[in-house]
Amino acid sequence: MGQDVTLTASDKFELGAYRTTPTGTPRGTPRGAVVVIQEIFGVNHHIRTVCDRFAVQGYVAIAPAIFDRIERNFQSGYSEEEVAIARKFVAKPDWPAMLRDTQAAIDAVQDFGPVGIIGFCLGGSVAYAAATKLTGLSAAVGYYGGAIVRFADDKPTVPTQLHFGERDHGIPLSDVEIIRAKRPEVEVFVYDGAQHGFGCDERASYDKASAELARQRSLAFLAKHLAA
């Protein structure tokens, strides 16, 4: 459904991305665009599927390969060994570089209408940071971003929605409460019994009921705030 494209960041670095075009609207007319930010596993099958699903909803979707500065075209599965390798990419995260690459993706789809951003795991934190620092966005959604609590003093400039799992061993509920206290204007949802990665149907931690509810909330939120 989608295609691989090349983006150019503000520092002239070229990175890859996966982009889909809408199939769920009359004559393929976009209803806006969504930037999809990866987990630590790269722009893999799951992230490409997320983009494809947004295309069905009528959005142009683009997922920048924000690890290309470290290793081009990195993609990973979810075995214990693959997780260990993927974690090395975020031992010392370069947030400014990831945000430059995210801005390049935003800029690449602005001609299609209002732009939202959604991210998962590492991407959830990037999506929140983007909502506070980048331009060209109309809404932001973050799933189980472990670094969001570190950024919670920064106020988003666009409507923002966050999703967390109650049983996420990497994100204690005390962190979620800090975010809620510091950012009362942000929509925060916690899913009973859900673990980290509950929204990915390719992971052992997938929680179908929580994932479907979170997806419904995310789609409604984006539809509301990306309405032309």
CA distance 126 to 100: 11
Beta strands in 59-196 (DSSP E): 60-64, 115-120, 139-143, 160-165, 187-191
Task: Tell me if residue 200 is catalytic.
Answer: no
Q: How many CB atoms lie within 10 A of CB 36?
A: 28
Residues contacting 98, CB < 8 A, separation 6+: 66, 126
Question: Which among 68, 101, 107, 168 is annotated as catalytic?
Answer: 168
Task: Tell me if residue 153 is catalytic.
Answer: no
Task: Tell me if residue 168 is catalytic.
Answer: yes
CA distance 205 to 195: 6
Question: Which among 46, 68, 121, 163 is annotated as catalytic?
Answer: 121
CA distance 94 to 97: 5
Question: Which among 196, 200, 207, 225 is annotated as catalytic?
Answer: 196
Residues serving a catalytic function are: 121, 168, 196
